Structure 1
Amino acid sequence: MPPAIAPSAAFAQSLPSLGDTEREELSPLMERKLGEQIMRDIRRNRDYLNDEPLQEYLNGLGNSLLAVRPEARGETQYDFFFFAVRDPMLNAFALPGGFIGVHSALVLAAQNESELASVMAHEIGHVAQRHIARMLGKQKQDMLIPLAAMVLGALTATASPDAGIAMMMGGQGLAIQRQLNFSRDAEREADRVGLDIMREAGFETSGMINFFGRLQQASRNYTDSAPPYLRSHPMTTERIADIEARTRDQRYRQHADSLDFPLIQARVKVLQDPSQQGMLDARAAFERQLQQKTRTAMIAGKYGLAYVALRQGDAKKAQSMLNDAQATLKAGSPTARNVVLSSLAIDIKLAAHQPKEAVEEAERARNQFPLSRGIAHQYADALFAAARYDDAVIFLRDQTQLYRHEPQLYDRLAKTYAALNKQAQQHLALAESYALNGSLPAAIDQLSIARRAPDASFYDLSIIDAREREMKAQRLEEIRQEKEG
């Protein structure tokens, strides 16, 4: 195993020691595996916000923080993943292995991008200093499974309180929940790491002070319990004072919020409550936002109204409001482009059953935002809607070579092969998708179906045999580890 990447001497000296890491930490590989197991279940939860513009924004923001502190990825170079869950409570959490979740309410509560970045940087600090690994390192492997039940129970409780309590009461859930409440030393350490990351990434460090201060103030309005974020990240006056002391002598640096920030907040406002009343409340909020008359508020308000109209099935109104938002954007900067607006434009064309126009919109967006994974996926959707199946296959196969770890690509590829009645390749693509999602038994079943397909060629069969050997070996290794655990 390669040695860990050490932080700078000055950085290391400012942090307290939390124990003998060699003897007490969960191994990085086991930590990542545990995080992946939990994420598989979270992704199946209905409150997991599987929304590509939102995920792309959060991961873009998170990776901009990680870019200035690459050693935070650890010796195994964790590929961090930032995601959101639908929840009305202010909270955020770090899972083992570099998975960081943010509640929708917290995204909406942030008054600027630096405040949101402060929470994400703090959670990165917990992962970078391996706080979860240290807390779990002393536990037997059979004690790790209830951790997943506890996290899922917290999500389930928002939709069904009784079910959520039952899940959290199971096994050792309550004991582990107590262990996950970080110590004061761990919290101060994450604060300091987060502050350093924020400063180096160009965000306002005052964002952490302001946001945590408001959370502490909000806790005084609760009689029986504090907000969830304060329960899992105990806030003290000493902590805030420590943050203020560390920033007092720093030169103030103003951070200009990206336009994506208010647009994503508008999107989250709609996603947070998809009910009919929720749509009405969101629309009223966006109409009030238009009264602010500032350019950014006007663009975000019109975007929000367009998204509400799209969700309500009114593609014509959605297009009209989006046109207004884009006109307001161009009035201030004629050459301005925005990926969130472009993504909605493609969705509106698809919803209006205008596949040709959707392809044209997606092609323009791909040229303008070549690194956007969401736009790439929408381009494939537009090709499919236009019945350009062969073009879709060529594009998706090329994408799977470049981005081998995106199950969404294989799902779209399988759907396109099905439209072309290419059964062997359809099930081969599904096998890859299941494998990437951690369902090896289902993936192996799909390979068996592909082998029996009437159109399976000799070349297809050779690929199926090779992948089956690999997946069965991986599955045997999983079984061995489960027995040893």
Structure 2
Amino acid sequence: MFLSSIQFRRSLLVSLLAVCCGVTPFSSAQQNLPILGDADRGSLSPLMERKLGEEVMRDIRRDPDYLDDAPLLEYLNNFGGILVAARPDVRGEANFDFFFFAVRDPVLNAFALPGGFIGVHSGLILATQSESELASVLAHEIGHVTQRHIARMLGKQKNDSLVALAAMLVGALAMRSSGDAGAAIMMGGSSYAMQKQLNFSRDAEREADRIGLSILSDGGFDTSDMVVFFNRLQTATRNYSDVLPPYLLTHPLTSERIADIEARIRDQRYKQHADSLDFQLIRARVRVLQDSSEKAMNEAQQIFDNQLAQGMKQQTVAAKYGMAFIAFKRNDFDKAEKLLHEAQAAAAPLKPSFILTDLGIEIKLGANQFAAALKLIQAAQHQFPLSRTLAHQYASALIENKQAEQAIVFLREQAILYRQDPDVQTLLAKAYAAQGKIALQSMALAEALVINGSLQEAIIQLGIARKAPDARFYELSVIDARESELKEKWKDEQQAMKDR
């Protein structure tokens, strides 16, 4: 059984990055992390590594299977932030700003991209049975980023990487007409390079395991859950017969590696980590997001029914939430609100959850009850003042409630505080559009594109702003200066890519 076109593109990308997996050491004065390999640095600088990651992310964000879901992204990045904060030195000399995201795919997999971008499949999130298990996967991927494994292999194994890349591209073209032929070409062409890298890749995996265990321990998570989850993954791979599962392509998982982890945690003091309610809620949300077909919705409903029958507090709340989210997806807002209230009542003794609050706001916005949504958001902002999801919803509700000017004031403040948030600029463009300010709308869209790394598209958008009938002298001056700056930046980046 072969992958769908979208799955194949993603598998192609991740497999290519796996072929390029290696090690770059850091100065021991900068971080206390284990070092493998010699002292030579790869040819990929931290700056170019980040740029490469941004370019890959730009393509991933355009994929319909990229889960651009605000509560899910906020949960993953808050959770990932806890792991990074437990060991700040994992940012390394490059001081990487980590970004965690999810893609819609039932296959158990997770992957690290150059420059601090870490992706996880929806199927893996659902397969984790505790927050410590999810933490073990993310911590492992943080280890890959910290040690700059991809950058190292790009510097040390260029020839083999080119062999694999050429074969994979040929396979991708062949796949369009014949899935079997394309897969055969890809696997045959890449096997030489991948086999040559396998032993080194296993060393990198063990290194990422050691770093991951350190992060788990310092973060207060149960380190034994790394072994538990890896054992479950190993069992799951037995279901694959003809095609090697993606996780094994990118993360060679052996009994020796699991035994090594067990030996390292044997003398550690046991730490029990209580799962947050948000973990159970986000798994319920992901279950619905993973497949929006009616059949899948009915299957999810059955799973939530079974959770209710267990009578456990968090499972009950999550099941009610999942049912409410299904009703919301079906545009049955009255039923969604009723089920959500039941979930909130069941969760009353527990710590407040922004995920529950978010769905209540989503329901109001979906039902076009914008004034009611604003009230909910304003109340929630006192509980969750740092929530980016709530900030975006507040701006959206203001715009929909014909309060564009107030939205613009708020978003301009947000743009100063959160300079790397593209959604702020996108919402600002929407607010300007509501006022008919075409030049400012295009300028805001250009800034959103810059944040996402799309310099060429941003320059085009500035050209549109210049031609707008309402572009005044001040806007034209800003456009000219910004365009000149972006063109110079684009030129520098292109030159750097040639020199790499």
Q: Deviations over 1:106-154 (max 9, x none)?
A: 0000010000000111111111112111111135599689879979x99
Q: Deviations over 1:244-298 (max 9, x none)?
A: 1111111111101111100000000001111111111111111111111111111
* 1:83-482 alignment runs, 5 A limit: 83-139=101-157, 162=179, 165=182, 169=186, 183-330=201-348, 332-333=349-350, 336-482=351-497
Aligned residue in 2 for 1:20: 39
Paired residue secondary structure (1:441): helix
Going from structure 1 to structure 2, the CA distance change for 1:143 and 1:262 (only over 3 Å counts) comes to: same
Contact 2:132 2:273 in 1 (8 A): yes
Paired residue secondary structure (1:459): helix
Going from structure 1 to structure 2, the CA distance change for 1:272 and 1:147 (only over 3 Å counts) comes to: farther
- 2 CA distance for matches of 1:343 and 1:149? 46
Aligned residue in 1 for 2:9: none
- 2 CA distance for matches of 1:222 and 1:272? 21
Higher relative contact order (CA 8 A, sep 6+): 2
- 1 CA distance for matches of 2:185 and 2:486? 33
- Amino acid in the other structure paired with 1:444: I
Please say which of residues 206-215 and 449-458 is displaced more in the overlay. Answer: 449-458
Paired residue secondary structure (2:347): helix
Going from structure 1 to structure 2, the CA distance change for 1:131 and 1:34 (only over 3 Å counts) comes to: same
Do residues 6 (structure 1) and 25 (structure 2) align?
A: no
Aligned residue in 2 for 1:29: 47
- 2 CA distance for matches of 1:409 and 1:160? 42
TM-score normalised to structure 1 length: 0.90
Aligned CA RMSD, in angstroms, stands at: 3.0
Offset of 1:443 from its aligned partner?
1.2
Q: Deviations over 1:303-351 (max 9, x none)?
A: 0000000111111111000010011111x25xx4210001111100001
* 1:70-81 alignment runs, 5 A limit: 70-81=88-99
Going from structure 1 to structure 2, the CA distance change for 1:356 and 1:305 (only over 3 Å counts) comes to: same
Paired residue secondary structure (1:353): coil
Specify every segment of 5 or more residues in structure 1 that has no aligned partner in the other structure, as ranges.
none
- 2 CA distance for matches of 1:304 and 1:445? 42
- Amino acid in the other structure paired with 2:148: R
- 2 CA distance for matches of 1:65 and 1:188? 19
- Amino acid in the other structure paired with 1:19: D
- 1 CA distance for matches of 2:333 and 2:288? 16
- 1 CA distance for matches of 2:345 and 2:323? 15
Paired residue secondary structure (1:84): strand
- 2 CA distance for matches of 1:230 and 1:464? 49
- Amino acid in the other structure paired with 1:90: L
- Amino acid in the other structure paired with 2:124: L
Please say which of residues 108-117 and 432-441 is displaced more in the overlay. Answer: 432-441
- Amino acid in the other structure paired with 1:6: S
Going from structure 1 to structure 2, the CA distance change for 1:321 and 1:269 (only over 3 Å counts) comes to: same
- Amino acid in the other structure paired with 2:319: G
TM-score normalised to structure 2 length: 0.87
Aligned residue in 1 for 2:11: none
- Amino acid in the other structure paired with 1:431: A
- Amino acid in the other structure paired with 1:21: D
Q: How many residues align?
A: 472
Paired residue secondary structure (2:86): coil
Paired residue secondary structure (1:260): helix
Offset of 1:484 from its aligned partner?
3.8
Offset of 1:299 from its aligned partner?
0.5
Contact 2:443 2:479 in 1 (8 A): yes
Q: Deviations over 1:36-72 (max 9, x none)?
A: 1111111111111111111111111111111121121
- 1 CA distance for matches of 2:70 and 2:134? 18
Specify every segment of 5 or more residues in structure 2 that has no aligned partner in the other structure, as ranges.
1-24
- 2 CA distance for matches of 1:349 and 1:250? 49
Offset of 1:459 from its aligned partner?
2.2
Contact 1:150 1:167 in 2 (8 A): no
Using the aligned pairs only, state the percent identity. Answer: 56
Going from structure 1 to structure 2, the CA distance change for 1:143 and 1:241 (only over 3 Å counts) comes to: closer
Offset of 1:436 from its aligned partner?
1.7
- Amino acid in the other structure paired with 2:104: R
- Amino acid in the other structure paired with 2:154: L
Going from structure 1 to structure 2, the CA distance change for 1:166 and 1:249 (only over 3 Å counts) comes to: closer
Please say which of residues 174-183 and 286-295 is displaced more in the overlay. Answer: 174-183
Contact 2:30 2:92 in 1 (8 A): no
Going from structure 1 to structure 2, the CA distance change for 1:454 and 1:220 (only over 3 Å counts) comes to: closer
- 2 CA distance for matches of 1:318 and 1:164? 47
